[in-house]
Amino acid sequence: MSGGPVDAATPPEVATAPRGRFDLIFEPAGQRVRVPPHVFLFDAASWNGVAIDSTCGGHGTCRKCKVRVIEGTAPVTALDTRAFTVEELKRGWRLACRVDVTSDLRVDVPPLATRPKAATVGVGRRVILRPAVQKRFVELTPPSLADQTTDLDRLTACLDDLEVRAELDVLRTLGPVLRRSDYRVTAVVVDDVLVAVEAGDTTQTTYAIAFDLGTTTVVATLLDLATGAPLAVRSMLNKQQPFGADVITRISAIMMDARTLSELTRLAHETLNELAQGVCEDAGVNPNNVYEIALAGNATMTHIALGLDPESLGVAPFIMTAALFPDVLASDLGVAVHQRARAVLFPALGAYVGGDIVSGLLASGMDRDSRLRLFLDIGTNCEVVLGNSDRLLATAAPAGPAFEGAAIRCGVRAAPGAIETVKITSDDVQLGVIGDEDPTGLCGSGLVDVVAELVQLKLIDPSGRFVTDEVAASLAPGVASRLTQWNDLRVFVLHWNGDVGDVTRSIFLSQRDVRELQFAKASIATGWRILLEEAGVAVNDIQQVLLGGSFGSYLSAASAVRLGLVPNLPLLRIVSAGNVAGEGAKMALLSLRERRGAMALLEEVEYVELSDRGDFNDRFVDELAFPA
Amino acid sequence: MSGGPVDAATPPEVATAPRGRFDLIFEPAGQRVRVPPHVFLFDAASWNGVAIDSTCGGHGTCRKCKVRVIEGTAPVTALDTRAFTVEELKRGWRLACRVDVTSDLRVDVPPLATRPKAATVGVGRRVILRPAVQKRFVELTPPSLADQTTDLDRLTACLDDLEVRAELDVLRTLGPVLRRSDYRVTAVVVDDVLVAVEAGDTTQTTYAIAFDLGTTTVVATLLDLATGAPLAVRSMLNKQQPFGADVITRISAIMMDARTLSELTRLAHETLNELAQGVCEDAGVNPNNVYEIALAGNATMTHIALGLDPESLGVAPFIMTAALFPDVLASDLGVAVHQRARAVLFPALGAYVGGDIVSGLLASGMDRDSRLRLFLDIGTNCEVVLGNSDRLLATAAPAGPAFEGAAIRCGVRAAPGAIETVKITSDDVQLGVIGDEDPTGLCGSGLVDVVAELVQLKLIDPSGRFVTDEVAASLAPGVASRLTQWNDLRVFVLHWNGDVGDVTRSIFLSQRDVRELQFAKASIATGWRILLEEAGVAVNDIQQVLLGGSFGSYLSAASAVRLGLVPNLPLLRIVSAGNVAGEGAKMALLSLRERRGAMALLEEVEYVELSDRGDFNDRFVDELAFPA
C-alpha cells in the first residue's frame, strides 16, 4: 500500500501486494483504473463511473455492452461469436460483461446510445440507476393455432434483454392474468426471477425498502425505483431490546434458553415489518408494489433475523453459519410486502465485521478510491477498515458498552437530556444538551469530550488518573471544586442537580468511567494500529478518517484525536460519514452493479483476527495511556 | 431425413435440414456423432456413451473432463485458463463441459481414471449412473481462531467438485448439526442445491421415486440411487377418475366450476403421495431419505398436479402455461418425502404431446439413433413422433376414447373379464379373456382384433360396413349367424351370455362401434402420414415402429397393420416399447446427463399442429377406409 497520495496513472509499489491487480484504460477518455483479476470488464467500468450501454445489467443477455479491446488479451467467448462477425471479433470487439479480466487492457468504449438515469447516494457516490427490480409493460400477440407458444415463453420472448426463470406461484397466476387483461401485462422481474405478472401497465409503481438493522435502532427507507428518490424514512428501537443492549447479551439469552432464538427472530421480524408498513403508509404506497428489500445488519442481527442460531458467533472462535445468503425472500424476514419480493442481505466479512460494514464500505467507495482511508464504526464493537482500491484490511475491536452509555455511572443513551458536548476551561464548564433540556446524563460523545477536556487541562494525567486536589486547584482554580470524592471514587462533577456538593444527585465522571473509556479507546486504537502495520503504512499516510454510525456523527474529532481514539491527523481529514450502512443498502437496491460490488468485497477485503494475536494484550496495554 | 439406413460416417442429405448439425469424432475409438449447434461437448459425449472423467457431472466445477481438441474450433474459456497451462491450451486441451460446439470437432479423450457404474433402463439404454442427488460424507476440521471459515464455506470447501447453493432452511440446521456430530456429516446435494446436512455417514441411504402420472393409472418406482436398482413398484388408479375418464372431461369440469381445479390438484397429490408412502413401505425405506422425484405426465395432468389452470389446454388454440418448470419441490406436488426434495418434471412439446412422451423419447433414445423410427402412444389422444438423430417431428392426433373401451357399446377397460384377443375363422370365434374369466366386454386390443378379423374375412367391407346376411353366409357360414340385427343396428355377436339369439345380454360389436374405431384409426393414420410427408420419407423407410403405453403392449401388430392403424410394414419392425414414460423418469433420476438430454428435446423436436392444416379434414376422410 502506498504511503503518499496514490496517483492512479503511476502504479505505486503496491503492485507487489499479495493480490495481483490489472490496469484497465478506458478510451477515448483515457480513464485508468486498477482491478483484481477475474472481475468482469463491464462491472469494473460501471464501478468506476465509466458508462457502457446495457439494458440487462451485465447478465449477458442484451448484447449491448459492446467495446473494442485495443491492447491486452480478452478471449472470444461463445456469446461473442453470436454478437459479432468474425471481422469484428478480429478487430477486438467483445461484450464487456463477458470479458473476464486476466491482463492489463486498453479498451475503446463507444458513446452511449441512451442516457442512463443516476442518483447521488452514499458518501457523494453517483449511482447509475439500474435496480435489480425491472418492470416491463408488454402487449403480447394473443396465441393462435399458428402460434402455440406457451404463456411463459410468449411473455419472456418480449423481455429479450432479460433472462428470467419463473417460480411456480407466478405460473399459477400467469394464464388467467394474461387472458383477463387481453395480453397487456407488466412483468416484474427481480434479478433473474419473474416474481409477478400484473394486468395492464403498472411500471410507474415500483418500490423497494432499505433497512439498516441495528442492534439498538432500526431504520427503513422507502425508495421509488423509477426515480431513485427516497419517499419516506422511519426508525424505531429494535424490539429485541428487552433481551439485552448489545449482541453478546442477546446471544447469551439464546444460549440460556433455546426457545429465545425464535422469540428474537419474531421480534426482529415485527420491527422490520412495522417499519415497512409505516413507510408505505407515509408515502401512500401499496406494500404489494414493494418487490425488493435490502438489509444491512451486523452478523448477529442478520443471523437472528434469518432464524440462524448465533451461538457460535458469541464464543471463540466466533464462527458464522454463512457469510452470503443467496435466496432469501422478504417474507423470510417477516416483511409483508409483495409475497414473492426478494431480500438482499449484505455479506459479512467476519463475525464482528458484518453486513452493515460491507454496506458502509459500498457507500463510502473505499474499494474504488485510490486515497488511503481509515473507516471506523464505533459502538459496543468497533469495526475498523483500512485501505484503498489496491488493498483493504478489516478487523473488529471489542470496545465495550462505554460509548452507548452503559457501564458509565451517569451514562445515558444519546436522547433528549443527554449531555453530548462538553467544554471545560480552567474557570468554567459548558454543557451542550440534546433538546436543550435539563441534563439527565452523559452520552458517548459527551463522555469523549469531558475526558478529552480534562486531559487537555491536565486534570487527568496521561495514565488516566485524576490529579490531586492540590494540583487541580493550581491548574484550574475555577473548576477544581468539582473534582471531589464520592464513596471510594474520585469524581468530576459536570452538573449539580441538587445542591452544590450533593454528588449523589449530580451528573459526574468517575475514575472508574475514565478507566472504561480507556479500555474502549485502547482496544480501538490497537485495532487500527495493527492494520496500519499489516499494510505497512504510517499514520500520516492516512488521507481520510471516516467515522461511521450514528456515534460517528456526533463525536468531536478534536476530542477523539486528543484521546488517541483516532489517529493524530489534521482535523480536516477526519469526517463523519453518516449512516453509511443505510446508504449502502439503498445503493444495492438502486444498482445491481453496486450490489455486485458489495458482494465482491467478500473476496477483496482481508480480515485480520485480533484475538489470536500473541502481541494483542501487550499492545492493548500500551494503548491505555492518553497521548501526552 | 434420409430414406434408407443412415450411416453416421456419411452425412446423408438431411445435412440441409433447417437445423444445422456438427460432426464430432471422439478419438482414439474414432466414434462419430452428429449434434445440433451449442450443445456442450461433454454432454454430447455422454449421450452417445463416450465416457469422459467427471465428478461434478458437467457443472464446470471439478475440472476433470479434460480432452484435447485435435481439429476444429473451441475457444478458450475463463475456466480453461485456470485448468490448463498456456502450453496445454496451445496443444488444444479444454474442459469438455465448457466446449460449446460451434464447428465440426475431432477430440482425443484420455482413458478414464475411475470406472463409472451403469444401469440398463429404458429400451435397452445403458445409463452411466450419475444422479442429480449426490451424498458426500465429510469429516471437517473444526474451526479455530486461525481458521474462522463459516460453517457453510467449511462444508462446501470439502465438496470441491460440486458447486452448491444452500437454502435458508438448510442453513438453519447447519451449525447445530455440525457441532452435534463433531463435524462429521453427510452433505446431500441435488443438482446445485444443498438440500440437507445429516449427522454422520448416511451415504448408503439415497433414494428417489419415478412417477408415471397417467390420466388413468399412476405408477411409482422407488430407486436406490447408490446402485440404480428399482426397489419397489406400485400402481393405482388416478384418484381424479370420478371427474372424468379423459383429460377433456376433467378440463371441462374445471371450466364449469373453478373450485374443481384445487380439488383435482389435491386428488393428484393424494395419489402420488399414497404411492410414495407405499413404495417406501414395501422397501423398508424412510421417506426422509428420498431426495428427488421425477414425474412424467401429459400436459394436462402435469398442469393440474402443479395447480396450474389447464383451461387453455382444452380449447383451441391449446396453450400451455409453460413447457418447462424449473424449480419445483416434491412438496409442491404433495409428495411427503424429504421436505426439501426436488421434483423433476419432463417438459412438454405441445398441449397434447406432453412430458410423458418426452420421457418416452428419452427412454427409446430416438434422438440419438440413426434409424428412422415411428413412435406411437395410442390412447384417448395419440401422440406420434417420427425421426432419428438428425431430425424429429411430433404431433398429436385426437383418437377419442374407443381404445379405452368408452363409446363402444360392449367396451370395457383392460381388466379381468375383458376380451383382449379375438380370432375369427369362417367357422369359429376364439376369444382370449384377461384372467381367463367369463368375458364381460371388449377392451381396446380386442376391439382392434375383432374388426381386423372381420375385415380379413370380408364380413366388414373396406368402407367399414357390415356385409349383408347373404354375403356373410357365403363367406363364413360357420359364424354368419352371429351377424344379426339389434334394434336399428347391425351387430356381430362375440359371446352369447344368455341364450343364443339373446343379443341384448351378449357381447357384440356394432356397426356404430366400427365407425368409432374408424374415426380413431383415421385420426392416427392422418397424423403419421402427415409427419412422413413433412419429413419427406415413405412408409418403407421406417425401420421401426415403437408402440408406447400400456395399450401398445397388448395391441396385436398384425391387426393394427391390417386396419391401417400403423404403417404396412413387416411385423418384425413393429415392437412394443413398454411403459417408456416410466422408464424415462427413472433415467432422469439416475443420470443428470440423460435428464439434460430430455430437456434438450424441447429444442430439438419440431411440433406439427394438425388442427390448423387446411387439408386435415380431406385427409382424415381418406383414411377412414380400411386397406383393401
Instruction: Spell out which residues of chain A touch residue B316, defining contact as CB-CB under 8 Å.
Output: 145
pLDDT tens-digit profile of B115-143? 556 666 666 667 888 999 999 999 999 99
Residue with cell string 502450453: B87
Cell of B492: 356381430
Residue B81: CATH number of its domain: 3.10.20.30
CA A133 – CA A195 distance, rounded (Å): 10
Strand positions, DSSP E, A411-479: 418-424, 429-433, 441-442
| A384 φ/ψ angles, rounded to the nearest 5 degrees | -130, 125
CA distances from B447 to B221, B288, B290, B492 (A): 31, 46, 42, 12
pLDDT tens-digit profile of B64-120? 889 999 999 999 988 898 889 889 999 999 999 889 888 899 999 888 765 556 666
Determine, for residues B322 and A152 on separate chains, whether the beta-carbon distance falls below 8 Å: yes
Instruction: Spell out which residues of chain B touch residue A175, defining contact as CB-CB under 8 Å.
Output: 308-309, 311-312, 319, 321
CA A400 – CA B41 distance, rounded (Å): 59
Cell of A104: 492489463
Query: Judging by beta carbons within 10 Å of its beta carbon (0-12, 13-18, 19+), is residue A216 exposed, middle or buried?
Result: middle
When the pLDDT of each residue in chain B is averaged and rounded to a whole number, the result is 89
Among A77, A145, A176, the residue with its CB nearest the CB of B77 is A77
CA distance A408 to chain B (A): 31
Determine, for residues B168 and A309 on separate chains, whether the beta-carbon distance falls below 8 Å: no
Residue B265: CATH number of its domain: 3.30.420.480
| Least confident segment among A10-14, A139-143, B351-355, B431-435 | A10-14
Query: Judging by beta carbons within 10 Å of its beta carbon (0-12, 13-18, 19+), is residue A471 exposed, middle or buried?
Result: middle
CA B520 – CA A626 distance, rounded (Å): 98
**DSSP assignment letter at B500:** T
CA A261 – CA B506 distance, rounded (Å): 74
Other beta carbons within 10 angstroms of residue B165's beta carbon come to 16
Domain boundary among A150, A167, A199: A199
The confidence score (pLDDT) of residue A123 equals 62
**Which of A172, A599, A611 should one mutate to test binding to chain B, selecting the residue with the greatest count of B CBs within 10 A?**
A172
Total residue count of chain B as it appears in this document? 628
Number of domains in chain B: 4
Global pTM reads 0.80
Amino acid sitting at position B544: Q
The confidence score (pLDDT) of residue A115 equals 54
Closest-CA residue of chain B to A611: B145
CB distance A459 to A475 below 8 Å: yes
The confidence score (pLDDT) of residue B122 equals 61
The angle formed by the CA atoms of residues B312, B313 and B314, to the nearest 5 degrees, is 90
Strand positions, DSSP E, A248-336: 290-297, 328-329
Instruction: Spell out which residues of chain B touch residue A167, defining contact as CB-CB under 8 Å.
Output: 327
pLDDT tens-digit profile of B227-283? 888 899 998 999 998 998 789 899 999 999 989 999 999 999 999 999 999 999 999
pLDDT tens-digit profile of A135-189? 999 999 999 988 999 999 999 999 977 889 998 999 999 999 999 999 999 999 9
User: Measuring CA to CA, which residue among A389, A279, A292, A201 is closest to residue A590?
Assistant: A292
Is there a domain that residue A152 lies in? yes
Exposure string over A572-596, b if 16+ CB within 10 A, otherwise e? ebbebbbbbbbbbbbbbbbbbbbbb
CA A235 – CA A215 distance, rounded (Å): 13
**Which of A309, A318, A328 should one mutate to test binding to chain B, selecting the residue with the greatest count of B CBs within 10 A?**
A309
Determine, for residues B179 and A312 on separate chains, whether the beta-carbon distance falls below 8 Å: yes
User: Measuring CA to CA, which residue among B170, B342, B183, B331 is closest to residue A307?
Assistant: B170
The more confident residue out of A262 and B47 is: A262
Amino acid sitting at position B111: P
CA A368 – CA A377 distance, rounded (Å): 19
Residues 6+ apart with CB under 8 A from A457: A424, A425, A426, A475, A476, A479
Cell of B554: 397388448
Is there a domain that residue A68 lies in? yes
CA A617 – CA A123 distance, rounded (Å): 35
Is there a domain that residue A120 lies in? no
Closest-CA residue of chain B to A173: B308
Complex ipTM more than 0.85, yes or no: no
B375 shares a domain with B321: no
B212 shares a domain with B194: no
A445 shares a domain with A386: no
CA A595 – CA B144 distance, rounded (Å): 31
Alpha-carbon A614 to chain mean position = 30
A537 shares a domain with A461: no
**DSSP assignment letter at B37:** T
R_g (Cα) of chain B, nearest Å:
28
Determine, for residues B328 and A175 on separate chains, whether the beta-carbon distance falls below 8 Å: no
Instruction: Spell out which residues of chain A touch residue B77, defining contact as CB-CB under 8 Å.
Output: 75, 77-78
Three-state secondary structure of B84-101? CCHHHHHCCEEEHHHCEC
Q: How many helices (H) and strands (E) does chain A have?
A: 18, 29
Cell of B570: 413387416
**Which of A178, A251, A320 should one mutate to test binding to chain B, selecting the residue with the greatest count of B CBs within 10 A?**
A320
B75 shares a domain with B19: yes
CA B395 – CA B350 distance, rounded (Å): 8
Cell of A9: 496513472
CB distance A511 to A491 below 8 Å: yes
% residues pLDDT > 90 (chain B): 64
% residues pLDDT > 70 (chain B): 93
CA distance B144 to chain A (A): 5
Is there a domain that residue B121 lies in? no
Among A100, A151, A307, the residue with its CB nearest the CB of B172 is A307
Is there a domain that residue B351 lies in? no
CA distances from A36 to A72, A347, B557 (A): 15, 19, 68
Element housing B292 (H / E)? strand B290-297
Instruction: Spell out which residues of chain B touch residue A76, defining contact as CB-CB under 8 Å.
Output: 75
CA A416 – CA A111 distance, rounded (Å): 54
CB distance B340 to B169 below 8 Å: yes
Determine, for residues A76 and B81 on separate chains, whether the beta-carbon distance falls below 8 Å: no
Alpha-carbon B353 to chain mean position = 10
Residues 6+ apart with CB under 8 A from B259: none
The confidence score (pLDDT) of residue B124 equals 63
The angle formed by the CA atoms of residues A94, A95 and A96, to the nearest 5 degrees, is 105
CA distance B297 to chain A (A): 17
Determine, for residues B148 and A607 on separate chains, whether the beta-carbon distance falls below 8 Å: yes
- Give the CA dihedral B298, B244, A149, B296, nearest 10 degrees: -10
B499 shares a domain with B415: yes
The confidence score (pLDDT) of residue A33 equals 79
Is there a domain that residue B357 lies in? no
Alpha-carbon A505 to chain mean position = 40
Three-state secondary structure of A163-231? CCEECHHHHHHHHHHHHHCCCEEEEEEECCEEEEEEECCCCCCCEEEEEEECCCEEEEEEEECCCCCEE
Q: CA neighbours within 13 Å on the CB side: how many for A551?
A: 25
Closest-CA residue of chain A to B76: A75
% residues pLDDT > 70 (chain A): 93
Residue A391: CATH number of its domain: 3.30.420
Q: How many helices (H) and strands (E) does chain B have?
A: 18, 29
- Give the CA dihedral A551, A555, A559, A563, nearest 10 degrees: 10
B426 shares a domain with B562: yes
CA distance A526 to chain B (A): 18
R_g (Cα) of chain A, nearest Å:
27
pLDDT higher than threshold 70 for residue B495? yes
CB distance B308 to B321 below 8 Å: yes
B454 shares a domain with B482: yes
B194 shares a domain with B178: yes
Specify the long-range contacts of residues A572-576, CB closer than 8 Å, at least 24 apart. A573/A542, A573/A543, A573/A544, A573/A545, A574/A544, A574/A545, A574/A547, A575/A544, A575/A545, A575/A546, A575/A547, A576/A546, A576/A547, A576/A552
CA distance A507 to chain B (A): 42
CA A212 – CA A518 distance, rounded (Å): 29
User: What is the pLDDT averaged over residues B388-407?
Assistant: 86
A181 shares a domain with A152: yes
Other beta carbons within 10 angstroms of residue A237's beta carbon come to 12
**Which of A39, A103, A171, A255 should one mutate to test binding to chain B, selecting the residue with the greatest count of B CBs within 10 A?**
A171
Residue with cell string 496517483: A7
Among B150, B311, B318, the residue with its CB nearest the CB of A322 is B150
The angle formed by the CA atoms of residues A478, A481 and A487, to the nearest 5 degrees, is 160
A472 shares a domain with A505: yes
Helices B259-283 and B247-256, interaxial angle, to 10°? 130
- Residue B37: pLDDT band (50, 70, 90) is confident
Domain boundary among A199, A217, A242: A199
Among A145, A175, A317, the residue with its CB nearest the CB of B321 is A175
Instruction: Spell out which residues of chain B touch residue A60, defining contact as CB-CB under 8 Å.
Output: none
pLDDT tens-digit profile of B154-189? 999 999 778 899 989 999 999 999 999 999 999 999
Q: What parts of chain A have a pLDDT lower than 70?
A: 1-20, 46-49, 55-57, 113-125
Residue A166: CATH number of its domain: 3.10.20.880
Is there a domain that residue A272 lies in? yes
CA B211 – CA B220 distance, rounded (Å): 5
DSSP annotation string for B557-579: HHHHHHHTSS-S--GGGEEEEES
Is there a domain that residue A425 lies in? yes
Domain boundary among B171, B199, B227: B199
B496 shares a domain with B567: yes
CA distance B353 to chain A (A): 13
Please give the residue range of the domain that contains residue B163.
Answer: 132-199
